[in-house]
Amino acid sequence: MQRMTYRVKVSTLRAKRRLSYLLRPSKRTLNLKSNLVPSIPYSPSARFSKTKKLVQLSSIALLSLPADSLTTMKAQVPAYNKVMLQKTLIIAAVPGDSTYFATDGFQHGFGYDLVRGYADELGVGIELKAYASDKAALRALQSGAADMALTTASSQLKNQLELSSINVSCGYDTSLTDNGLNPKVSWTFKQADDPLSQKASYFLCDRIKLESTQSLAAFYNQNLLKDAYSQQHFKKTLTEKLPDYQSSFKKQAKDYNHDWELLVAMGYQESHLDADAVSPTGVRGIMMLTNSTAEAMGVADRVDPLQSIGGGARYLEEMKSTFQDVPQTDRIWFALAAYNMGPNAIKRIQKHLDSDGINDKNWANIYNYLSENKASNSRYEQCMQYVSNIRSYIETMKMQTV
């Protein structure tokens, strides 16, 4: 071993001497210039020969370096550094009921909302790249096309690709399975020792964050239309009643800048698309408007389908405008909650969260507050169910699972 080390050192030293000798100024050239003797004519072939020799000698010197020097030269920049420098977290994700949905202008989903929370903590934005399969998303991560992956890939596949992974439930899988979510949903990183991966682990597995994750899982509950009765009732309503009102939903959605299927989901939640519906409290019509709301929205006849849908669409637009400072991805949930419970009730919750140093413009935090305090206020539980149900209906229509 000593002899081999000595030969490497000697070889390195000789290579350096050769390079030094070759690169030092020629005495003959200096003398010619100092004596004002005409310079030697330029020769491309001679210059090429000299360059070739330089490359050969440089290669010899490089190969003579110790192995640890080469490793240092090839060291990769941590993904965390790149993310913080570019202020963007690039996610390779596979669409699904446990990862994310992309529905006409905004992205949401259980896994996606968790990623947004992490990005907010890092102070960076998100760029989501969709892939058709777990393997394709993980390959993108492996190649450097993404900083992390959001998938439900098997441990076998992730191990095969030599990637590091964190289960978003941190071992509390029942919090996902009880809500119909895939317990394998995870965040995957290229290196386990990358700060991006290590910080993600602390973020997900913090005790307070775990409670928030469990509440978020309840919001994204996928069991609502899993039982046969609910599924058949929803499908029957869309088949038999929606055709009579579909043109009205589309017209009012266009007039007030909404997704028409979102309005359908609201109408189903409010009245099961029954134009003559009346509640014990006196609200009426497809969108179940109160007298005061109908008057404010210019609705003269609450049981007239077109007027009722128009009144609901206009009121929802006002709620969206009220929460203009909320990021678009969460604004629709705020607007729906305000539609159900009133904007001032939501603003009071925001004020309470803000006083505790909690982000009051994040829907997961609002939903968690509703969940924690529903025992003392029945309206909170009603609001939670209202928004969750509409989310489920619109996802079901978009995914065409009925």
Are both 287 and 333 inside the same structural domain?
yes
Strand-strand pairing, 186-189 and 164-167? antiparallel
Tokens found for residue 388 = 């969750």
CA atoms of 375 and 34, how far apart (whole Å): 97
Are both 249 and 380 inside the same structural domain?
yes
CA atoms of 389 and 324, how far apart (whole Å): 23
Query: Which candidate in 270, 317, 372, 395 is catalytic?
Result: 270
Are both 16 and 89 inside the same structural domain?
no
Strand-strand pairing, 101-103 and 106-108? antiparallel
CATH number at residue 264: 1.10.530.10
Are both 196 and 101 inside the same structural domain?
yes
pLDDT of residue 282: 87
How many domains are contained in the chain? 3
Are both 237 and 153 inside the same structural domain?
no
Are both 119 and 20 inside the same structural domain?
no
Per-residue pLDDT 10s for the chain (402 aa) are: 444 444 444 444 454 454 454 445 544 443 434 343 344 444 544 544 544 444 444 444 444 444 444 444 455 789 999 999 999 999 999 999 999 988 666 789 999 999 999 999 999 999 999 999 999 999 999 999 999 999 999 999 999 999 999 999 999 999 999 999 999 999 999 999 999 999 999 999 998 889 889 999 999 999 988 889 999 999 999 999 999 999 999 999 999 999 999 999 999 999 999 999 998 888 999 999 999 999 999 999 999 999 999 999 999 999 999 999 999 889 999 999 999 999 999 999 999 999 999 999 999 999 999 999 999 999 999 999 999 999 999 999 987 754
CB 309 within 8 A of CB 249: yes
240 is catalytic: no
Are both 232 and 373 inside the same structural domain?
yes
The residue behind tokens 């690039």 is: 90
